[in-house]
């Protein structure tokens, strides 16, 4: 495909969609799929056929519409309404409403003026829920692959790196390393063989942002990776995706095939001299593989065990070659930055953390689901306005961010703006974006034990502090919970925490004590009550 | 192409008249018998045979020119690879944070009480029990995967009824 043909395809698809009266976009992401959205989609499609409305209406699958707790969700483009808890038997009323007759769909309507919808800013998720992830034409209609064509036609690789640097984009995998700097490091390496790796090994329990992006808008990630390849001089990309994410894998495989067929990936992309291939690597269930050196080992077909850094992957990564590793959400931000410019991006967020962040809301919160907000909003806004507060009249106790590497944030910090630095300051981390709300029925010591059990199971066993330390810490927590703990146990927990932080080989061990330390700090009375 | 019965707890059958071996060979050819492709090959092998036996791992080691210890090391490192046959039905309980807070432990207790410990299979071969680290359906907590199908907002009562239906011991 040439650049002109890309624009023609966009025109043609937009024209085709304009001819339709509307589309019924049925969420088929994993959340809604498990409440039966596939049946709803089939029923609506059959109903459209039954009523002879094939040229007027269309029903297709789409990515996450956000409010997973009210699924299956269906969005109608002709009425602009969002319908919740739809059953296959509702197909007729939905089709009638979309065709402009019938009032019977009212009872299914969701109030789209509630803060959950109005308070969000969608960049990464701008395509999720608007396009059919199984159709390349849908992505192209939304201006897809034009950032790539613009870069190939008008910009040097160096200019792309500069633009990303200027935008202030930071890694969305958790640590927040400036993306542009990382790209520059890889671009500077003299090697003729380089790799781009997309880390989609989203292992944090309670985090499903990356899965939703891959399921809902896979081409956006592929385009971001191709841009990274162009900027750094790499010709081969890998996506390392969790084996548990069946639907995401399926959609990615399809998207790669579609893009290759249209020469948007592969050799001579958009009829230029730029070549970039993307291959999938399926993970096999090891949390530690989210750590970059362990991920590299896993792609090379070995046990996923980390190694000492430096050298860092930008110097020596996959097969010893310079390797750029970014997270799914980071890559999903790239194409919008190329299209809208770095100023547009850096206008969002806080001075040090630019742009938006996708969070997965879960736990004891009314609106569980997927949200995207500008950096710097407060936890209170996220939990009580967008999230709708705590159900069953219970009280907020803590918010857990960053999974097993993060911490528990108590109520006193509800008004803290969320960005990388502020979360680190109070002993948690941004992490990949899982946000779990805990109410006053939950014991915080139990939460600490839960995460320690996780780290104990997932420790790869290579370094002793992590392998033995997590077991010891877990046993102490278990003892405390059973009422057999003493005050000396609390001191031992603190000492072991410091040991793990300072001497573990990789991030898993270094951050494993975070949930314990943050609960010891903010909920010490619970520990004391149990050790008296 | 004949369908393979991957969900049945049968041991890998005699290779004659069985095209699973051929399909595994094809997967290895695709990767040029490179040791780097070990994990992909193990994925394919498990997909074909349902689980990985020692003879199978040895064959893979020989063909990819890897030490058998390395192949076994990788197969046992990753949770996904199964070295034992599975039961007729598989129940995997999500024990991610959201599900844990919503009571996943109670759900897992039901299964462990009636069928087998997590990671095991009931004595009658009916039900395999497992736990997963977040399946990403936190909005529907507590969730479990029954034979590949995600079921949300599970209650102990519901699960007990379901176990009765599949013929698990009370």
pLDDT recorded at residue A206: 81
Q: A278 and A147 in one domain?
A: yes
Query: Could A203 and B78 be called an inter-chain contact, meaning their C-beta atoms sit closer than 8 Å?
Result: no
The CATH number that applies at residue B139 is 3.40.30.10
Note whether residue A162 is domain-resident. yes
Q: Which residues contact A428 (CB under 8 A, 6 or more apart)?
A: A400, A401, A402, A406, A407, A408, A409, A514, A518
Q: A148 and A104 in one domain?
A: no
pLDDT recorded at residue B1: 36
Q: B149 and B106 in one domain?
A: yes
Cα A396 to Cα A80, A387, A408, A409, B2, distances in angstroms: 34, 12, 12, 11, 56
Q: A502 and A466 in one domain?
A: yes
Q: B111 and B70 in one domain?
A: no
Tokens coding A150: 């613009």
d(CA A198, CA A330): 9
Q: A308 and A194 in one domain?
A: yes
Tens-digit pLDDT profile for residues A183-225: 999 999 999 999 999 999 988 888 889 999 999 999 999 999 9
Q: A236 and A147 in one domain?
A: yes
Tens-digit pLDDT profile for residues A100-149: 876 778 899 999 899 999 999 999 999 998 999 999 999 999 999 999 99
Q: Name the residue among B35, B98, B140 with its Cβ closest to that of A206.
A: B98
For residue A16, the distance in angstroms to the closest alpha carbon of chain B comes to: 35
| A392, A424, A439 - which closes a domain | A439
> How many structural domains comprise chain A?
4
Q: B153 and B95 in one domain?
A: yes
Contacts of B74 in chain A (CB under 8 A): 301-303
Q: A294 and A164 in one domain?
A: yes
Note whether residue A317 is domain-resident. yes
| A414, A439, A464 - which closes a domain | A439
Tokens coding A106: 């009212």
Confidence of residue A248 (pLDDT cuts 50, 70, 90): very high
Query: Could A436 and B97 be called an inter-chain contact, meaning their C-beta atoms sit closer than 8 Å?
Result: yes
Note whether residue B26 is domain-resident. yes
The CATH number that applies at residue A157 is 3.40.50.11540
Q: A432 and A451 in one domain?
A: no
| B54, B77, B100 - which closes a domain | B77
| B45, B77, B109 - which closes a domain | B77
Note whether residue A138 is domain-resident. no
Nearest chain A residue to B144, by CA? A34
Query: Could A301 and B35 be called an inter-chain contact, meaning their C-beta atoms sit closer than 8 Å?
Result: yes
Note whether residue B56 is domain-resident. yes
Note whether residue A296 is domain-resident. yes
Contacts of B137 in chain A (CB under 8 A): 30-31, 34, 68, 208
The per-residue pLDDT of chain A, averaged, comes to 94
For residue B124, the distance in angstroms to the closest alpha carbon of chain A comes to: 27
Reduced 3-state DSSP string for A146-207: HHHHHHHHHCCHHHHHHHHHHHCCECCCCCCCEHHHHHHHHHHCCCCCCEEEEEECCCCCCC
Q: A300 and A268 in one domain?
A: yes
Note whether residue A366 is domain-resident. yes
Structural domain range at position B69: 20-77
Contacts of B80 in chain A (CB under 8 A): 243, 283-285
Note whether residue B8 is domain-resident. no
Query: Could B140 and A282 be called an inter-chain contact, meaning their C-beta atoms sit closer than 8 Å?
Result: no
| A293, A313, A346 - which closes a domain | A346
Starting from the edge strand earliest in sequence, which strands make up the sheet with A74-76, in order? A57-62, A22-27, A74-76, A82-83
Q: B156 and B103 in one domain?
A: yes
Task: For chain A, say whether B68 makes contact (Cβ under 8 Å).
Answer: no
Note whether residue A59 is domain-resident. yes
The CATH number that applies at residue A62 is 3.40.30.10
d(CA A167, CA A179): 9
> How many structural domains comprise chain B?
2
Tens-digit pLDDT profile for residues B88-98: 999 999 988 88
Tens-digit pLDDT profile for residues A498-512: 999 999 999 999 999
pLDDT recorded at residue B9: 45
Confidence of residue B17 (pLDDT cuts 50, 70, 90): low
Asked if B101 and A442 touch (Cβ cutoff 8 Å), the reply is: yes
Cα B56 to Cα A138, B1, B74, distances in angstroms: 44, 22, 14
d(CA B116, CA B120): 6
Structural domain range at position A515: 444-531
Nearest chain B residue to A31, by CA? B137
Note whether residue A136 is domain-resident. no
Q: Which residues contact A31 (CB under 8 A, 6 or more apart)?
A: A64, A68, A71, A208, A369, B136, B137, B139, B140
Q: How many CB pairs under 8 A join A and B?
A: 131
- Of residues B76, B130, B27, B53, the one with CA closest to residue A304: B76
Q: For the full predicted model, state whether its pTM sits above 0.80.
A: yes
Nearest chain B residue to A368, by CA? B139
| B31, B48, B77 - which closes a domain | B77
Q: B142 and B99 in one domain?
A: yes
Does pLDDT of A71 surpass 90?
A: no
Note whether residue B41 is domain-resident. yes
pLDDT recorded at residue B3: 40
The CATH number that applies at residue A368 is 3.10.20.600
Q: A13 and A93 in one domain?
A: yes
Does pLDDT of A295 surpass 90?
A: yes
Q: Name the residue among B36, B79, B135 with its Cβ closest to that of A301.
A: B36
For residue A84, the distance in angstroms to the closest alpha carbon of chain B comes to: 14
Contacts of A458 in chain B (CB under 8 A): 133
Q: B93 and B70 in one domain?
A: no
Note whether residue A457 is domain-resident. yes
Query: Could B133 and A458 be called an inter-chain contact, meaning their C-beta atoms sit closer than 8 Å?
Result: yes
Q: B115 and B94 in one domain?
A: yes
Q: B116 and B151 in one domain?
A: yes
Asked if A508 and A287 touch (Cβ cutoff 8 Å), the reply is: yes
Does pLDDT of B107 surpass 70?
A: yes
Query: Could B138 and A360 be called an inter-chain contact, meaning their C-beta atoms sit closer than 8 Å?
Result: yes
Note whether residue B3 is domain-resident. no
**What is the ipTM score, two decimals?**
0.90
Note whether residue B84 is domain-resident. no
Q: A420 and A471 in one domain?
A: no
First to last CA, chain A: 72
Q: Name the residue among A202, A204, A303 with its Cβ closest to that of B77.
A: A303
Nearest chain B residue to A305, by CA? B77
d(CA A221, CA B115): 42
d(CA A508, CA A506): 6
Q: Name the residue among A243, A302, A362 with its Cβ closest to that of B138.
A: A362
Q: A255 and A156 in one domain?
A: yes
Q: Name the residue among A30, A302, A451 with its Cβ closest to that of B150.
A: A30
The CATH number that applies at residue B72 is 1.10.10
Does pLDDT of A57 surpass 70?
A: yes
Q: A91 and A195 in one domain?
A: no
């Amino acid at each position: 495909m040439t650049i002109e043909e890309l624009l023609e395809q966009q025109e043609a698809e937009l024209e085709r969609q304009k001819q339709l009266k509307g589309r019924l976009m049925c969420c088929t992401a994993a959340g809604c799929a498990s409440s039966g959205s596939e049946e709803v989609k089939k029923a609506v499609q059959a109903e459209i056929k039954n009523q002879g409305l094939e040229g007027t209406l269309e029903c297709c699958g789409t990515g996450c519409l956000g409010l997973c707790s009210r699924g299956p969700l269906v969005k109608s483009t002709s009425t602009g309404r969002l319908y919740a808890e739809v059953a296959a038997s509702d197909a007729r009323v939905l089709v009638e409403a979309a065709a402009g007759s019938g009032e019977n769909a009212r009872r299914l309507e969701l109030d789209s003026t509630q803060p959950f919808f109005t308070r969000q800013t969608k960049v990464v998720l701008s395509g999720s829920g608007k396009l059919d992830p199984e159709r390349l034409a849908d992505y192209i209609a939304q201006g897809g692959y034009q950032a790539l064509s613009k870069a190939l036609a008008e910009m040097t690789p160096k200019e792309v790196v500069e633009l990303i640097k200027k935008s202030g984009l930071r890694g969305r995998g958790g640590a927040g390393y400036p993306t542009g700097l990382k790209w520059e490091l890889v671009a500077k390496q003299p090697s003729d063989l380089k790799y781009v790796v997309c880390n989609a090994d989203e292992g944090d329990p309670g985090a499903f942002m990356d899965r939703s992006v891959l399921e809902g808008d896979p081409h956006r990630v592929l385009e971001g990776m191709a841009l990274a390849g162009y900027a750094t001089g790499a010709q081969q990309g890998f996506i390392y995706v969790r084996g548990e994410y069946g639907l995401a894998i399926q959609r990615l495989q399809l998207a790669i095939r579609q893009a290759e067929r249209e020469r948007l990936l592969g050799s001579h992309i958009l009829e230029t001299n730029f070549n970039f291939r993307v291959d999938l690597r399926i993970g096999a269930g090891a949390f530690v593989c989210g750590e970059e050196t362990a991920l590299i080992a896993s792609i090379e077909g070995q046990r996923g065990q980390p190694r000492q850094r430096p050298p860092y992957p930008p110097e020596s990564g996959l097969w010893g070659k310079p390797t750029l590793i970014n997270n799914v959400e980071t890559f999903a931000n790239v194409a919008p930055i190329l299209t809208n410019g770095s100023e547009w991006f850096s206008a969002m967020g806080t001075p040090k953390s630019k742009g938006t962040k996708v969070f997965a809301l879960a736990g004891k919160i009314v609106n569980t689901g997927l949200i995207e907000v500008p950096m710097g909003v407060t936890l209170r806004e996220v939990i009580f306005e967008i999230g709708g507060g705590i159900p069953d009249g219970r009280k907020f106790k803590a918010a857990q961010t960053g999974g097993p590497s993060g911490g528990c944030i108590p109520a006193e910090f509800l008004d803290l703006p969320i960005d990388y630095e502020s979360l680190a300051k109070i002993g948690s981390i941004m992490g990949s974006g899982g946000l779990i709300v805990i109410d006053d029925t939950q014991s915080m010591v139990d939460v600490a034990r839960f995460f320690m059990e996780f780290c104990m199971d997932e420790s790869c066993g290579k370094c002793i502090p992590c392998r033995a330390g997590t077991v010891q810490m877990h046993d102490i927590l278990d003892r405390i919970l059973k009422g057999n703990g003493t005050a000396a146990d609390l001191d031992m927990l603190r000492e072991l925490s410091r040991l793990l932080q300072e001497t573990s080989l990789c991030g898993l061990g270094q951050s494993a004590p975070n949930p314990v330390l943050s609960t010891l700090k903010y909920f010490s009375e619970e520990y004391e009550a149990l050790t008296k | 192409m004949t369908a393979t019965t991957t969900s049945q707890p049968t041991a890998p059958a005699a290779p004659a008249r069985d095209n699973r071996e051929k399909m595994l060979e094809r997967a290895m050819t695709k990767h040029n018998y490179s040791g780097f492709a070990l994990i992909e090959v193990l994925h394919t092998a498990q997909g074909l045979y349902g689980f990985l036996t020692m003879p199978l791992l040895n064959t893979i080691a020989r063909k990819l020119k890897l030490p058998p210890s390395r192949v076994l090391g990788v197969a046992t490192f990753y949770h996904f690879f199964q070295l034992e046959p599975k039961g007729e039905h598989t129940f995997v309980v999500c024990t991610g944070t959201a599900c844990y807070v919503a009571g996943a432990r109670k759900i897992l207790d039901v299964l462990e009480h009636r069928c087998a410990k997590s990671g095991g299979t009931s004595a009658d071969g009916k039900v395999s029990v497992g736990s997963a680290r977040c399946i990403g359906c936190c909005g529907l907590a507590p969730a479990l995967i029954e034979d590949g199908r995600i079921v949300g907002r599970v209650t102990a009562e519901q699960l007990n009824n379901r176990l009765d239906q599949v013929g698990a011991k009370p």
